[in-house]
């Protein structure tokens, strides 16, 4: 599906690349683009002095490329080969709208927010399906014309294997670019973390690494912190420890009860998830080890 809405400034081919740093990389890449007269709309570069790694993201105006995206990929292979065997790169066509599947539980604030953004054309993806372990959010999902799949989870964590398997099938049937845990409240089994590596995105309701795990606002209250936050991160096998895409905080004080924090925290959760998800969908996030490079 080609969507103009996804590309307000016109269709773009977005090149992302990471490789060991050495002089001449930018020249090699930009000369390659200049040779066919490609116009670079947006460019990000980062040389990480600590890891010796180089990262770039280049948005090329599609209308200035005299061939298709497959040909672009095929031609770029030679440039990438010169940058060494560790080089990782991708070319994403912004004209192809991306797909997201959302996992939810009972709390709807992130879902409502993402549905609203999708409706407004603000989310650079279609929401293909919503999967919930409770039925609370079925109606609001369906009024937006999006299928809701109910997958109940047994109380005993040891018996949840089949439910997770059902979730995996439903998700995979959409081949999504993003699997969004929009306050899903279930810890993904390791095999699913690996299966969706680099695509599963969680919103955790604390400023990680503080308050990992359950009831982070309660933990924040007990510790008496003066700011609470939220963290959007890739899901990995280690709980709440995946590469961080975005974080933000809001000020609280002694007068805020846990209930107040939960309410105020939602405003941060919504925005942090929406922002992190958009960056992921626009190929702005490059993961390297436990850190991310975000060309926002």
Contact call for residue 198 and a copy of itself (CB under 8 A) = no
Which residue lies nearer to a copy of itself by CB, 72 or 171?
Answer: 72
Residues 6+ apart with CB under 8 A from 36: 65, 66, 67
Contact call for residue 197 and a copy of itself (CB under 8 A) = no
**From 3, 42, 73, 95, residue interacting with a copy of itself (rule: CB under 8 A):** 42
Site for a copy of itself in 119-178 (CB under 8 A): 119-120, 122, 140, 143-144
Which residue lies nearer to a copy of itself by CB, 43 or 239?
Answer: 43
Smallest separation (angstroms) from a copy of itself to the CB of 87: 17
Q: Do 20 and 86 meet the contact criterion of CB atoms below 8 Å apart?
A: yes
- Two tokens, residue 244: 């961080």
Which residue lies nearer to a copy of itself by CB, 100 or 261?
Answer: 261
Contact call for residue 191 and a copy of itself (CB under 8 A) = no
**From 202, 229, 235, 281, residue interacting with a copy of itself (rule: CB under 8 A):** 229
Closest CA to 114 of 271, 265, 296, 281: 271
State the catalytic residue, choosing from 93, 113, 240, 256.
240
Closest CA to 35 of 60, 57, 8: 60
Which residue lies nearer to a copy of itself by CB, 68 or 121?
Answer: 121
**From start to end of 72-223, where are the E strands?**
88-93, 98-104, 125-132, 148-150, 178-181, 200-204
The rounded distance, in Å, linking the Cα atoms of 172 and 168 is: 6
Q: Do 265 and 230 meet the contact criterion of CB atoms below 8 Å apart?
A: yes
Which position has the token pair 């973390």? 193
The rounded distance, in Å, linking the Cα atoms of 219 and 140 is: 31
Number of residues located near a copy of itself, criterion CB under 8 A? 79
Contact call for residue 86 and a copy of itself (CB under 8 A) = no
Contact call for residue 290 and a copy of itself (CB under 8 A) = yes
Contact call for residue 88 and a copy of itself (CB under 8 A) = no
- End-to-end C-alpha distance for the chain, whole angstroms: 25
Contact call for residue 227 and a copy of itself (CB under 8 A) = yes
SS3 293: strand
The rounded distance, in Å, linking the Cα atoms of 49 and 90 is: 23
Smallest separation (angstroms) from a copy of itself to the CB of 41: 6
Smallest separation (angstroms) from a copy of itself to the CB of 2: 20
Binding segment for a copy of itself (CB under 8 A), chosen from 66-74, 94-102, 170-178, 244-252, is 244-252
**From 3, 39, 87, 186, residue interacting with a copy of itself (rule: CB under 8 A):** 39
> Is 240 a residue of the active site?
yes
Catalytic annotation, residues: 240
């Amino acid at each position: 599906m080609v969507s103009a809405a996804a590309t307000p400034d016109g269709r773009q081919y977005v090149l992302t690349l990471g490789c060991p740093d050495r002089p001449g990389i930018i020249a090699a890449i930009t000369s390659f683009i200049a040779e066919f007269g490609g116009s670079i709309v947006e460019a990000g570069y980062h040389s990480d002095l600590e890891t010796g790694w180089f990262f770039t993201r280049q948005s090329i105006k599609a209308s200035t490329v005299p061939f298709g995206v497959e040909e672009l990929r095929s031609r770029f292979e030679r440039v990438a080969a010169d940058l060494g065997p560790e080089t990782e790169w991708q070319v994403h066509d912004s004209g192809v709208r991306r797909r997201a599947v959302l996992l939810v539980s009972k709390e709807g604030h992130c879902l409502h927010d993402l549905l609203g953004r999708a409706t407004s054309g603000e989310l650079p993806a279609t929401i293909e399906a919503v999967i919930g372990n409770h039925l609370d959010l079925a109606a609001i999902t369906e009024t937006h014309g999006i299928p809701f799949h109910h997958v109940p989870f047994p109380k005993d964590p040891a018996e949840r294997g089949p439910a997770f398997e059902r979730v995996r099938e439903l998700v995979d049937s959409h081949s999504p670019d993003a699997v969004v845990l929009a306050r899903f409240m279930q810890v993904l089994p390791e095999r699913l973390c690996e299966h969706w590596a680099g695509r599963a995105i969680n919103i955790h309701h604390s400023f990680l690494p503080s308050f990992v795990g359950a009831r982070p606002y309660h933990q924040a209250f007990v510790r008496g912190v003066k700011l609470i936050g939220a963290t959007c991160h890739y899901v990995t096998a280690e709980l709440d420890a995946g590469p961080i895409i975005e974080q933000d905080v809001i000020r609280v004080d002694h007068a805020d009860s846990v209930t107040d924090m939960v309410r105020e925290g939602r405003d941060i959760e919504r925005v942090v998830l929406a922002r992190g998800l958009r960056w992921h969908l626009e190929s702005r996030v490059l993961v390297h080890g436990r850190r991310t490079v975000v060309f926002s």
